[in-house]
Amino acid sequence: MRTNLCSIISDQINEDIKIACKKAKEEGFSYIELHNVFGKSIEECSDIEVEEIKNILDASGLKVSAIASTVFFLAPLYENYKVSLFNDAFHAITGDISTHLEYLKRACKIAKKLDCSIVRVFPFRYPDNEDVVIVGTEKDREEIKKHLIEAGNIAASYDIMIAVENCPYSHCPKGEMTYRMIKEIAHPNVGLLWDPANSYRAERKKVPQEFLSLNLKEEFELLKDNIVHVHLKNYHYDETQTKPFIHKAFLNGDIAFEEMWDGLSKLNCKLSLEPEVSYEETLSSMKDLIKLSQK
């Protein structure tokens, strides 16, 4: 039984962190992950707000699995790039790369205050520029690696681990792509946040051909020794829809998490729900994750 590996991003339950923590505890969770808090991204929170968060956590008996910062998400990778949010409900910082690195310092300080060792960053939002079709090219990855090294150095000064998420709206939607960069920079404070559902829903037309061959099980085997945090959600692909990837409850989509569970449960990290579904489906996802962890 490993229910202590279960986490959920608090705003997936409720935007009110106090309500979210209460429900997470009731459902048997030991950890929450923090992103949207007090109507902003966690790295924007003031010292007073962080103290309030700490008091809520202490009262509920929960710990923090990760600080889900939005560092690098809306930072243009190149000067001519225009980037924008895909969802107004997803709170994110803006500004140039140097601004994001300052926010990273803030995120690390917040992590230390909340006794958490993981801070999420992104491999840069892909641009709105219509002339940019393929992203995550060798040139892109080399540019991103420079900034990840700088981020890793900042994290090291706080004894924090950076977790780079493969995000479908970024230059590296596939886990194999973030893995390649992590292995090449070989920084002790930079690891992988693997989101298998993000790999599944990557826009294939945007991904370099060399990263299109692995299925999720093969990708997991490649990445597993470098994974420091996991996000869990599911999709169903419906080609008749304008947006064919439909969010589903944790065990109700195309990804067979039950078949992957043996490997996932042996990882030395937290598995954090980010279902992006209705409240009722979020609750069922929470219950299903707890049941899986009890096997």
Given a cut of 60, is residue 83 above it in pLDDT? yes
Q: State the Cα–Cα distance between residues 258 and 204, nearest whole angstrom.
A: 25
Closest CA to 165 of 135, 212, 132, 198: 198
Which residues share a beta bridge with 247? 235
What are the angstrom distances between the C-alpha of 144 and each of 23, 56, 95, 249?
Answer: 38, 36, 16, 33
Task: Give every CB contact of residue 63 below 8 A, 6+ residues apart in sequence.
Answer: 30, 31, 32, 57, 115, 116
Which residue type sits at 151?
A
Q: Are the C-beta atoms of residues 124 and 77 closer than 8 Å to each other? A: yes
Considering the chain, what is the average pLDDT of its residues? Answer: 97
Taken in order 134, 89, 287, 245, the sign of the CA dihedral is negative
Structural domains in the chain, CATH included, are 3-293 (3.20.20.150)
Q: How confident is the model at residue 3 (pLDDT cuts 50, 70, 90)?
A: low
Q: State the Cα–Cα distance between residues 211 and 138, nearest whole angstrom.
A: 12
Q: State residue 105's pLDDT score.
A: 99
What are the tens digits of pLDDT across the range 110-160?
A: 999 999 999 999 999 999 988 888 999 999 999 999 999 999 999 999 999
Closest CA to 66 of 272, 250, 275, 225: 272
Over residues 16-41, the mean pLDDT reads: 98
What are the tens digits of pLDDT across the range 41-61?
A: 999 999 999 999 999 999 999
Q: State the Cα–Cα distance between residues 198 and 291, nearest whole angstrom.
A: 23
What are the tens digits of pLDDT across the range 264-293?
A: 999 999 999 999 999 999 999 999 999 999
Cα-flanking dihedrals φ and ψ of residue 109, to 5°? -65, -40
Total residues found in the chain within this entry: 295
